[in-house]
């Protein structure tokens, strides 16, 4: 279905599918007298929770994204993310704020398989992008969020030789920042650092983790568990989550950095975990999604890790790595799964 926010009349629209009814429910909640709307967190780093967010701050967030991407009234956007989460809700709010024409598509791993027209703006998860490579040329501005973009996916995007008018970004943010507060371009000019929006300040705490002050969307200084390298007051590089750090034999290992290295060599999802070990404290284990493959093992063996202790002590293949409903790898469930079966 298509919702034209330049000429919106909810009563004239037909919300047939269950997803379309959820969109209608959000529009009705938004038009109510309440100053907040409810948002559910993904649960990727803890127990999922629901909390209220001020509508005016969601509008502020929408303005920042729309201004950054140069979206204008009458442009077309595509919604293909669940509206229970901030990612889907913000796509609707951006469309309302900028009076876009919003195509509503059922969220799936193949969200644009039936897309037959160009759109100016879309947001997807990495898994959705992976299954939509043949249609990316139809999307003028694509933002990818919900999980880190793997090196293999970045390479696939670059190899497509898209037109220079196609812009693809990786996002940085969380529910507490009302989706994202910074973007990193992947196409046409690949960038190493995220650039934060106007009126967003960043710094490091004593742990080396990122702190964010974005008064337009959150009145409090947000202290994250994300270890980063700050280039200047507007740019930073993500290194990994401090709660994912593995301590093996007294050495701190950042799994996300190793995963980035491994995914340059293999197409499979690959996650490093630290399992209890009497001598090392934690033993570095690499989990590979897919069937056992000697070829994959050989490719990993050929990788030049910076430190010898970065090389996994064991490689385990599993059919499916646990994920949250919005596609993020669920490291907590993965750890439990491996711990119980090793």
Do residues 52 and 38 touch, judged by C-beta distance below 8 A? yes
Do residues 120 and 98 touch, judged by C-beta distance below 8 A? no
Q: Is the pLDDT of residue 162 over 60?
A: yes
Q: Specify the 3-state DSSP secondary structure of 134.
A: helix
Q: How confident is the model at residue 62 (pLDDT cuts 50, 70, 90)?
A: very high
Strands (E), the chain: 2-4, 36-40, 50-54, 76-79, 101-104, 119-124, 139-144, 167-174, 179-187, 194-196, 201-204, 209-213, 222-232, 235-241, 246-248, 251-253, 270-277, 281-289, 314-318
Is residue 102 classed exposed, middle or buried when 0-12, 13-18 and 19+ CB atoms within 10 A define those classes? buried
pLDDT at 147: 82
Cis peptide bond N-terminal to 65, omega within 30? no
pLDDT at 285: 95
What is the token pair recorded at 107? Answer: 């969220």
Do residues 93 and 62 touch, judged by C-beta distance below 8 A? yes
Out of 206-220, 221-235, 315-329, least confident range: 315-329
Strands (E), 75-178: 76-79, 101-104, 119-124, 139-144, 167-174
175 or 107: which leads in pLDDT: 107
CATH number of the domain at 2-200, out of 3.60.15.10, 3.40.50.1820, 3.40.50.12780, 3.40.50.300?
3.40.50.12780
CATH dotted code for 245-341: 3.30.300.30
Q: For the chain, how big is the Rg over CA atoms in Å?
A: 21
What is the token pair recorded at 132? Answer: 């939509």
* Domain spans of the chain, in order of start: 2-200, 245-341
Q: What is the dihedral of CA 13, 18, 24, 29, to 10 degrees?
A: 170
Q: Per residue in 65-98, pLDDT tens?
A: 999 999 999 999 999 999 988 899 999 999 999 9
What is the token pair recorded at 56? Answer: 């005016």
Unique residue bearing structure tokens 């193949």: 110
Q: Per residue in 199-218, pLDDT tens?
A: 999 999 999 999 999 999 98
Parallel/antiparallel/unpaired status of strands 179-187 and 194-196: antiparallel
Q: Could you tell me how far CA 268 lies from the centroid of its own chain?
A: 18
In degrees and rounded to multiples of 5, residue 153 shows phi and psi of: -70, -40
Q: How confident is the model at residue 43 (pLDDT cuts 50, 70, 90)?
A: low
- Asked whether this chain's domains 2-200 and 245-341 adopt the same fold, the reply is no
Whole-number Å distance between alpha carbons of 312 and 11: 58
Whole-number Å distance between alpha carbons of 69 and 122: 11
């Amino acid at each position: 279905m298509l919702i034209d926010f330049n000429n919106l009349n909810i009563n004239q629209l037909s919300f047939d599918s269950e997803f379309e009814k959820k969109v209608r429910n959000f529009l009705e909640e938004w038009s109510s007298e309440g100053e907040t709307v409810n948002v559910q967190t993904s649960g990727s780093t803890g127990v999922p929770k629901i909390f209220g967010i001020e509508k005016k701050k969601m509008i502020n967030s929408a303005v920042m994204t729309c201004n950054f991407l140069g979206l204008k009234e009458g442009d077309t956007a595509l919604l293909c993310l669940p509206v229970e989460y901030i990612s889907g809700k913000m796509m609707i709010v951006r469309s309302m704020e900028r009076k876009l024409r919003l195509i509503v598509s059922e969220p799936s791993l193949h969200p644009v398989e039936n897309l037959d027209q160009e759109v100016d703006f879309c947001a997807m998860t990495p898994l959705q992008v992976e299954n939509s490579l043949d249609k990316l040329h139809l999307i003028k501005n694509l933002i990818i969020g919900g999980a880190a973009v793997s090196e293999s996916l970045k390479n696939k995007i670059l190899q497509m030789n898209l037109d220079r008018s196609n812009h693809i970004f990786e996002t940085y943010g969380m529910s507490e920042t009302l989706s994202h507060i910074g973007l990193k371009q992947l196409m046409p000019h690949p960038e190493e650092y995220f650039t934060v929006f106007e009126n967003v300040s960043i710094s490091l705490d004593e742990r080396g983790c990122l702190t964010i002050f974005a008064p337009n969307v959150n009145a409090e200084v947000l202290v994250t568990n994300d270890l980063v390298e700050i280039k200047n007051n507007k740019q930073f590089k993500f290194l990994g989550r401090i709660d994912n750090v593995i301590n093996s034999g007294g050495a701190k290992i950042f799994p996300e950095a190793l995963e980035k290295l491994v995914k340059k060599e293999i197409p499979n999802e690959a996650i490093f975990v630290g399992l209890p070990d009497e001598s090392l404290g934690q033993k570095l284990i690499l989990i590979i999604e897919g069937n056992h493959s000697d070829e994959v093992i050989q490719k990993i063996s050929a990788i030049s890790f910076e430190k010898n202790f970065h090389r996994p002590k064991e490689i385990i293949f599993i059919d499916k790595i646990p994920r949250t409903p919005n596609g993020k790898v669920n490291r907590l469930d993965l750890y439990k799964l491996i711990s119980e079966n090793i």
